Amino acid sequence: MDKWEQIKKVGTAGRGRAELLRHLDGKKMPASRAILAHCYDCMGYFADGKQDCQISECSLYPWMPYKGIKNE
């Protein structure tokens, strides 16, 4: 199963989904959207919910779209 199919199967409609799909299609985007795509990918397509990754060591963490949100 390729990444596109994985996203369609398990990915949630979270911030970064459209951007990651756009990247996989080979389209260009600004850095702010690339950051959202990275977080969506890194967080496993937010399959477990839209929550803070809490990886403060990540250089992109200041722009994490769900920073401060905890899944309870």
pLDDT digit string (tens) for 14-71? 999 999 999 999 999 999 999 999 999 999 999 989 999 999 999 999 999 999 987 6
70: Cβ contacts below 8 Å, ≥ 6 apart: 51, 52
* Number of neighbours of residue 32 by Cβ within 10 angstroms: 9
Residue 39 contacts residue 58 (beta carbons within 8 Å): no
Residue 22 contacts residue 41 (beta carbons within 8 Å): no
**CA dist list (Å): 17 to 8, 33, 45:** 10, 10, 7
Threshold 0.85, pTM exceeds: yes
